Structure 1
Amino acid sequence: MATIKDVARAAGVSLATVSRVVNDGPKVGDATRERVKKIMQELGYRPNATARALVTQKSAYLGVVIADLQAPFFALLAHGVEVVTRKNNVRILLSAGSLEKDTELQAIETLLEHRVDAMVVHSKLLDDETLIDFARQVPGFILINRYIPQIGNRCIWLDNVAGGRSMAQYAYQLGHKNIAVISSRIQIDDPHLRVAGIKQAAAEAGRTIPDSMIEYSSPDQEGGELATQNLIASGQQFSVILAYNDAMAAGAMATLLDHGIKVPEEVSVMGYDDLELAKFCRPKLTTLRYPIEMMASKAADLALRYASGEEPGEGLTFKYTPTIVKRDSLIALK
């Protein structure tokens, strides 16, 4: 593999001149610049990204830690990051935390081994102190989908309590009094916060949602199917199901229809996330839009800015709120 010395020797210029060409620096004539670029191409020279970053004072890589490489939600997160890195000519190093504490830790440490000083981290299981320590070590450390007050200016997060609350409020506005909930049993804060918001809205409406009307299962279509089967088998009356996410909502609708229960005429269903799946459910799924791409782009932008020397502002918060997307699976009671 050709080195910068090989290029300088072949072009008859100094190493500094080649470095200026690589980094689009000044004090290089047009003819010399074109000759060096041509020789770089002929020799197959590829600039070292880390060395280039030392010259430009910009991060060569942005590290991203996500939970699942296959899930549509995290694909949207990664895409939101990629939009920003492409504009900034920065490469992405992607790693999966798999919603396991040790794996999340290993994913972050792997990025540190590559001397990444800008990273967007989705971590649900590492303790606050560990993440705070990483934020002190890494100039461009940004936490997404989680809020820790001590590093609040490095957190991009969604108000899940407000999300759950708006789901139930909307159902009550449409005349639904008997609300059932299917939530995730995965050991992270999100499902508990959404259920808390639902219960908060119920209390505000002078109603309660008994624990028997809340079923927990895996956060996928199979989980939605199982949770809905349990609700049906319980014999309890409900006119709407509020689901932890769109996948569980899709499983709920399929199960209701399999049992001869019309959606939304007999039971309405509402999801959470507004993934592509929601538009292709039948009926089309009413859901809450989780602006994950927008949040990811903001996280990537902050990570690169902080890594380049900008100081995180004191007292800043980057909280997002989900919004209702009205489609066909949730209707008003007559």
Structure 2
Amino acid sequence: MATIKDIARVAGVSLATVSRVINNGPKVGDETRARIKEIMKEMGYRPNANARALVNQNSTSIGVVIADLSDPFFATLAHGVEKVARQQNIQVLMSSGSIEAETEFKAIETLLEHRCKAMVVHSKALDDQTLIDFASQVPGFILINRYIEAIADKCVWVDNVTGGRLMAEHLVSLGHKKLVMVASKHQIDDPLARLDGIRQYLKQNNIELAENAIEYSTPDQEGGEIAMQNLLAKGIEFTAVLAYNDAMASGAMSMLQDHNLRVPEDISIIGYDDVLLARYCRPKLTTIKYPIELMATRAAELALSFNAQNAETKASTTYKYTPTLIKRDSVSKL
């Protein structure tokens, strides 16, 4: 069966343009609209009329789109939404986007099919315009962990650049200058912003983080292990490790210990997120607290509020959160 991605590819347009045609939205020329409809007909694509109609119906549920159901970070996000839903006696419907544009699009459509007019969406792969379109069609559409200026009032996000700076500042303040990093391989805004913050602070203090001192892998424990193994194989001299998140930090720590390197006596390591795992590592992990549960709670409240009121939003409103340093036992003074 043809998908919206197939239609966009054949038509040579974006997912957002196809979405606007499916939902009878504006900003599509008559010729383009007719061509896309013809392609849809030829390829047997069947837009879900139910989903398009649902924006005018009442809802007794709130939807959540997350990237990975198995990731503790997203479990914490979901828990924040669930707390609000439980207080208001409504159902939570969960869908996974897997950081893939088509999967994220389908996840949002699935929530619409289940009568969700309020939803908290974690989307990293969909383009800005597609998300703007959804926000205009769905009263309670709230984007979490991403900022788009055109829908700033519907975005709940964190300052990852500041988080990266905090990581570097803490290590440098304790005398560490020979640094390496285990980084996420995903070219999305979170890892890019954190690395940008790290580099900003190091540059201001005349410290280099060479490209070969950064290893990219999957943002999980196995990825942390693999990235650290590669760094050790390069023979780079370092005293501290910056990790994209706590899962990668945990995997990197395990690999260091497998090589008889003590944390923090021989090598210090700092993570990011402050998920439950950070408190139960040995040693306990120094990390940057990403207030995701607090953000998710706020996002859920906004989604339900906008849905109930069908409110006109104000572009001047912003919901930016700031990460903070959590000191534990995995970093020591050089």
Please give the alpha-carbon distance, in whole angstroms, between the structure 1 residues aligned to 2:163 and 2:179.
Answer: 16
Deviation at 1:275, TM superposition (A): 1.0
SS at match of 1:308: helix
Q: Which amino acid aligns with 1:256?
A: L
Query: In structure 2, how many angstroms separate the alpha carbons of the residues matched to 1:146 and 1:112?
Result: 21
Distance 1:203 1:58 in 2: 53
- Does the CA-based 8 Å contact 2:58-2:115 persist in structure 1? no
Residues 168-223 of structure 1 deviation map (CA, whole Å, 9 limit, x = unaligned): 01111111111111101023221111111110110111222111111111111111
Deviation at 1:225, TM superposition (A): 1.0
Q: Tell me, in whole angstroms, the C-alpha distance in 1 between the residues paired with 2:315 and 2:134.
A: 18
The answer as to 2:145 corresponding to 1:145 is yes
Q: Distance in 1 between matches of 2:95 and 2:229?
A: 36
Give the distance between the partners of 2:333 and 2:317, measured in 1 at CA: 40
Partner of 2:92: 92
* CA offsets 1:14-39 (integer angstroms, 9 cap, x no match): xxxxxxxxxxxxxxxxxxxxxxxxxx
Q: Give the structure 1 partner of residue 312 of structure 2.
A: 311
C-alpha contact 1:84 1:300 (8 A) present in aligned 2: yes
In the alignment, does 2:168 pair up with 1:192?
no
Q: In structure 2, what is the Cα distance between the partners aligned to 1:328 and 1:114?
A: 46
CA distance in 2, matches of 1:149, 1:305: 21
List per-residue Cα deviations over 1:205-263 (Å, max 9, x = no partner): 12221111111111111111111111111111111000001111111111111111111
Q: Name which of structure 1's ranges 300-309 and 91-100 shifts more when overlaid on structure 2.
A: 91-100
Aligned length: 279
Q: How many Å apart are 1:312 and its aligned residue?
A: 2.0
Give the secondary-structure state (helix, strand or coil) at the position aligned to 1:105. Answer: helix
Report matched runs for 1:120-269 at 5 Å: 120-269=120-269
Other-structure match for 1:80: 80
Task: Decide whether the 8 Å contact of 1:219 with 1:247 is kept in 2.
Answer: yes
Native 8 Å contact 2:59 2:115 kept in 1 = no
Whole-angstrom distance in 1 between the partners of 2:283 and 2:112: 46
Matched, 1:103 2:103: yes
How far apart, CA to CA, are the structure 1 residues paired with 2:206 and 2:89? Answer: 54
SS in 2 for 1:180: strand
* 1:272 has 2:272 as partner: yes
- 2:331 alignment partner in structure 1: 330
State whether residues 59 and 308 of structure 1, in contact with CA within 8 Å, keep that contact through their aligned partners in structure 2. Answer: no
Distance 2:131 2:315 in 1: 18
Tell me what 2:289 maps to.
289
Give, as a single letter, the amino acid of the residue that structure 1 aligns with 2:277. Answer: L
Bigger-Rg structure (1/2): 1
How much identity, in percent, do the aligned residues show?
59
| C-alpha contact 1:59 1:304 (8 A) present in aligned 2 | no
Task: Point out the more displaced range, 308-317 or 298-307.
Answer: 308-317
- Shift of the alpha carbon at 1:85? 1.0
* Residue aligning to 2:63: 63
Question: What letter matches 1:311 in structure 2?
Answer: E
The one-letter code matched in structure 2 to 1:323 is T
**Equivalent pair of 2:289/2:325 in contact (CA under 8 Å):** yes
CA displacement 1:33-83 (0-9 Å, x = unmatched): xxxxxxxxxxxxxxxxxxxxx9xx974111111112222111111110011
What letter corresponds to residue 119 of structure 2 in structure 1?
Answer: M
8 Å CA contact 2:152, 2:318 repeated in 1: yes
The code of the aligned residue for 1:107 comes to: A
Counterpart amino acid of residue 163 in structure 2: G
Cα distance between partner residues in 2 of 1:289 and 1:85: 24
Q: How many angstroms apart in 2 are the aligned matches of 1:89 and 1:264?
A: 46
CA RMSD of aligned residues (A): 1.6
1:313 CA drift (Å): 2.8
Query: CA separation in 1, counterparts of 2:261 and 2:315?
Result: 53
| Separation in 2, partners of 1:250, 1:68 | 18
Residue identity opposite 1:245 in structure 2: N
User: What is the DSSP-based 3-state SS (H/G/I as helix, E as strand, rest coil) of the residue aligned with 2:274?
Assistant: coil
Equivalent residue runs for 1:3-14 within 5 Å:
none
Aligned to 1:33: none
Amino acid at match of 2:83: V
Contact 1:165 1:198 in 2 (8 A): yes
TM-score (norm 2): 0.81
Paired with 2:73 and 2:115, the residues of 1 have a C-alpha distance of 28
The TM-score normalised by the length of structure 1 is 0.81
Q: Distance in 1 between matches of 2:281 and 2:242?
A: 16
The one-letter code sitting in structure 1 at the alignment partner of 2:153 is N
Aligned-partner Cα distance in 1 for 2:228–2:71: 22
Once the 2 structures are TM-superposed, how far is the Cα of residue 114 of structure 1 from its aligned partner? 2.6
Give the drift of 1:113. 2.1
